[in-house]
Amino acid sequence: DAGVTQSPTHLIKTRGQQVTLRCSPKSGHDTVSWYQQALGQGPQFIFQYYEEEERQRGNFPDRFSGHQFPNYSSELNVNALLLGDSALYLCASSLGYGAELFGPGTRLTVL
Amino acid sequence: AQSVTQPDIHITVSEGASLELRCNYSYGATPYLFWYVQSPGQGLQLLLKYFSGDTLVQGIKGFEAEFKRSQSSFNLRKPSVHWSDAAEYFCAVGGPTGTASKLTFGTGTRLQVTL
């Protein structure tokens, strides 16, 4: 089992652009959460998806949106990118509420 | 609101010495507590977790943590540190499914190991 996988590994965008990040959860996991980790900081919760619906949301603007597909994979979309959106974006999966298993992350750089 | 405080930003220990990383949390109910480790440029690896039961929790790589409700603490310990333990360590608090199950992380403690 590959665990949680994320794509792409790295991404460079310019201000105002839109970006889509992808996550495949560990086999058997049904819940996907997304976190943003700025340089030198701990991860910050963005939102969590379960049964294709957003179950919880952190303190992030509406520019951040997501989706969960029937196979439990998920996408994170960020519109109108700002310099401050540069960060490591982590996806985590779990079954109900086990301990969350994190993927390696996508490093987003906004120029 | 739930929160986590890791008072030590950076800790340096000698290889073979003991280690204790501090974590204090704020949570309105019985917390679910976690310790994760992150190597440079990598994702987070779960070291151990506490949901209920025995307050002394054993994890991977020889780590353990003790939940002290009276002190709102969940400190991470290791009796003998190895050079490969050098990394960033994060404490996190969360809740049960369907409620506040998101994880709130501390700002991390960077561990440096000297030979």
Closest chain A C-alpha to B105 CA, distance in angstroms: 6
Residues in chain A: 111
Identify which has the larger pLDDT, B37 or B54.
B37
Reported as a single tens digit per residue, the pLDDT across B43-96 is 899 999 998 888 999 999 999 999 999 999 999 999 999 999 999 999 999 876
Q: Which of B1, B8, B44, B2 is nearest to B23 (CA)?
A: B8
> Cα(A60)–Cα(B111) distance, rounded to whole angstroms?
30
- Which has the closest alpha carbon to B109: A26, A40, A94? A40
The count of CB pairs under 8 A between chains A and B is 60
Partner-chain contact B107 A42, CB within 8 Å: yes
Amino acid at B66: E
DSSP conformation letters of chain B: --EEE---SEEEEETTS-EEE--EEE-SSSPEEEEEEE-TT--EEEEEEE-SS-SEEE-GGG-EEEEEGGGTEEEEEESS--GGG-EEEEEEEE--TTSS-S-EE---EEEEEE-
Let me know if B37 is exposed, middle or buried by CB neighbors in 10 A (0-12, 13-18, 19+). Answer: buried
Q: What does the block give as tokens for B21?
A: 């990383």
Give the amino acid at A88: L
pLDDT, residue A15, reads 98
pLDDT of amino acid B9? 96
User: Which of A97-111, B31-45, B55-69 has the largest mean confidence?
Assistant: B55-69
CB-nearest partner of B102 from A48, A90, A101: A48
A45 and A58 Cβ atoms separated by less than 8 Å: yes
Query: Across the interface, do B102 and A43 touch by the CB < 8 Å criterion?
Result: no
- A4, A5, A21, B54, B95 from A27: Cα distances, Å: 8, 11, 19, 30, 23
pLDDT at res. A63:
98
What confidence tens digit (pLDDT) does each residue in B96-111 have?
655 547 889 999 999 9
pLDDT in tens, A65-100: 999 999 999 999 999 999 999 999 999 998 866 668
Residues 51-110 on A with a CB inside 8 Å of B are 55-56, 58, 90, 92, 96-97, 99-105, 107
A interface test, pick of B103, B107, B109 with most A CB neighbours within 10 Å? B103
| Cβ–Cβ contact A2 with B under 8 A | no
With a cut of 90, say whether residue B37 has pLDDT above it: yes
Q: What is the DSSP letter of A10?
A: E
> Using 50, 70 and 90 to split pLDDT, how confident is the model at A108?
very high
